[in-house]
Amino acid sequence: MARHTRNATLTPWIVTALATTLTGVAGCTPDAASAHETHTPAPGAAGIGDTLHPGLGNSGYTVRHTALALRFAEDLTTYTATTTLHGRATRSLFRFNLDLTGTTVRSVTVDGRKATWTRSGQELRVTPPAPVPSGRGFSVEVTVRAPVAGPEAAGKLGTAAIGMVRAKGVIQTINQPSGAHRIAAFADHPAQKAPTTITIAAPTRVNTIANGELTATRREGAYTVRRFESRQKLAPELIQIGVGPFTVVKRPGPDGIKLRYALPTGQVNDLMPQIDAVVPKALRFLTQRLGPFPLRTYGIYASPLGGELETQSLTLLGTEELTEEGMRANGSDTVVAHEISHEYFGNSVSPRRWSDLWLNEGHAVYYQSLWDQAKGGSDLADGMKRRYQDSAAQLRKQGPVADPRRGAFTPEDMAPYGWGAYQGGAVVLYALRQKVGEATFRRIERAWVAEHRDGTAGTADFIRLASRVAGRDLGPFLRSWLYAEKLPAMPGHPDWRTS
């Protein structure tokens, strides 16, 4: 997400101390149980062990494939959604969880047989007819029915993970970090991402789009059903569902990347000149620095509702950002560069835990700034100096870059977001570049996105990789930046001061 301003309200939450370790992984999870424990049927845990979002994701199984089938009502105000997760038990399970909030559950089956279920908060607890043995593959299918959130929810765009929303004649999703399970049942954590098939059935009078490649279209009476395949793993938080009167424009992109843009039909001619001028150039700029693009397809879903979100292979952007005037007035081309860089940082390399968000956002802000400098905008060092000066006040409020205090943010899904992940993360990357030099820094970055491509990695992984590539232990240096509320002196800039 490209958040330029922050106004997180301080909420006096009573939270237990964050048991953050350098790996960010809780010490004893069901996955780490002994052989005996692994084979004794037990319930899977309600979360994956994320200190900022304890309920997100689920333990006891891995996800190998996710399918989401959506069917909208004729008037687009409600839908039914069937999620089919193909998982593998990492311990013997007599019960396991999925994440689900709101919606009405219609049916739950495991391996095609009716399962019993209960709900508690954001958890759907599923008891299969017989325990799933450790190591066994299984499929769970959950069908729900729900209203699409209306215009009142659209007012929260940019401040909350609202799931699916409908206003101004279109439907879009804003899931990050925890909105997907408001749409349907998921293992809603990026560390449980999987290749995903999305099928959308909607009245033929509107168009539909989703992440990945369109692989099938069929008519069913007054409906059109389209199937989209994401061969690369896709986290539920990065799912995009577009429904509305838009036209899909296709273009050949650099390096064989297939470009497609879903644009309001009446605005195609207004928006395409800016898109054609910026997207291929930004893609080339980033692939030259970082190596092969992680996807075969990239594009934008331009919505009159607005929003900026790096939904995988299909960035969500407000139409007003892409008009000639909007592009000039807002510097939206840097937003485009920010969101495209997320395809490497955050989408292809997913955060292991939400406290690793600086690896998504710090990188996106860093490459957005580099792009801006390359096209004659602000000087990279000037921008980093300003961020460095602001750092003391911000980190005092919100906690260190890689260990934000949950209580510092609003309770509405926003725990990991803040200055630290965005601006702080970019400053840390700049400090690393200053420490190791530009050539080594580039090698670290290219190795990071290559070695963790289509994977999940966290702060400790980054420190290890940077140290290995640089040929020296960068642990003490990076930890002194990532886990401090007052940043150390900036290498190469002894005159820089924090406020």
Beta carbon nearer to Zn ion, 167 or 340: 340
Nearer to Zn ion, 4 or 114 (CB): 4
CB of 28 to Zn ion, least distance (A): 33
Cβ-based nearer residue to Zn ion, 90 or 312: 312
Tell me how far, at minimum, the Cβ of 418 lies from Zn ion, in Å: 12
183 binds Zn ion (CB under 5 A): no
Q: Which residues contact 433 (CB under 8 A, 6 or more apart)?
A: 441
Residue with Cβ nearer Zn ion (128 or 362) = 362
Can residue 1 be called a binding residue for Zn ion (CB under 5 A)? Answer: yes
Q: Is 75 exposed, middle or buried (0-12, 13-18, 19+ CB in 10 A)?
A: exposed
Contact (Cβ atoms closer than 8 angstroms) between residue 213 and residue 250: no
**Dist. CA 125–CA 117, nearest whole Å:** 5
How far is Cα 281 from Cα 328, in angstroms, rounded to an integer? 17
**Shortest CB 390 distance to Zn ion, Å:** 18
Residue 149: DSSP 8-state: B
Q: Tell me whether residue 364 or residue 465 sits nearer to Zn ion (CB atom).
A: 364
Distances (CA, A) of 261 to 244, 256, 300, 396: 13, 16, 5, 42
Does position 115 bind Zn ion by CB under 5 A?
Answer: no
Out of 56, 364, 370, 436, the only residue in the binding site for Zn ion (CB under 5 A) is: 364
* Minimal distance, residue 1 CB to Zn ion, in Å: 4
Residue 14: CB minimum distance to Zn ion, A: 30
State the Cα–Cα distance between residues 293 and 344, nearest whole angstrom. 7
Minimum Å distance from CB 350 to Zn ion? 14
Q: How many CA atoms lie within 13 A of 222 on its CB side?
A: 6
What φ, ψ does residue 498 adopt, rounded to 5°?
Answer: -90, 150
Nearest in space to 46 (alpha carbons), one of 88, 115, 85, 99: 99
Nearer to Zn ion, 4 or 328 (CB): 4
Q: Is 139 helix (H, G, I), strand (E, B) or coil?
A: strand
Least distance in angstroms from the C-beta of 172 to Zn ion: 17
**Nearest-CB residue to Zn ion?**
364
Judged by CB, which is closer to Zn ion: 80, or 176?
176
| Closest CA relative to residue 79, chosen from 161, 157, 184, 1 | 184
Residues 470, 437 contacting (CB under 8 angstroms): no
Point out which span in 25-33, 146-154, 193-201, 363-371 binds Zn ion (CB under 5 A): 363-371
Which of 346, 426, 437, 349 is CA-nearest to residue 390? 426
> How many chain residues are in contact with Zn ion, going by CB under 5 A?
4
Residue closest to 356 by CA, chosen among 21, 98, 30, 7: 21
The footprint of Zn ion on residues 332-361 (CB under 5 A) is 361
* Residue with smaller CB distance to Zn ion, 316 or 364: 364
Q: Which amino acid is at 93?
A: L
**Which residue, 187 or 364, is less far from Zn ion as judged by CB?**
364
Task: Tell me how far apart the alpha carbons of residues 120 and 28 are, in angstroms, rounded to a whole number.
Answer: 23
Position of tokens 């007003």?
320
Q: Which stretch binds Zn ion (CB under 5 A): 2-10, 132-140, 324-332, 434-442?
A: 2-10
Q: How far is CA 477 from the centre of its chain?
A: 28
Shortest CB 346 distance to Zn ion, Å:
7
Task: Pick the stretch among 1-9, 35-43, 145-153, 176-184 that binds Zn ion (CB under 5 A).
Answer: 1-9
What is the distance, to the nearest Å, from the Cα of residue 61 to the centroid of all Cα atoms in its chain? Answer: 21
SS3 241: strand
Least distance to Zn ion, CB of residue 176, Å:
9
Question: Nearest distance from residue 324's CB to Zn ion, in Å?
Answer: 24
Q: Which is nearer to Zn ion, 239 or 364 (CB)?
A: 364
Residues that bind Zn ion (CB under 5 A): 1-2, 361, 364
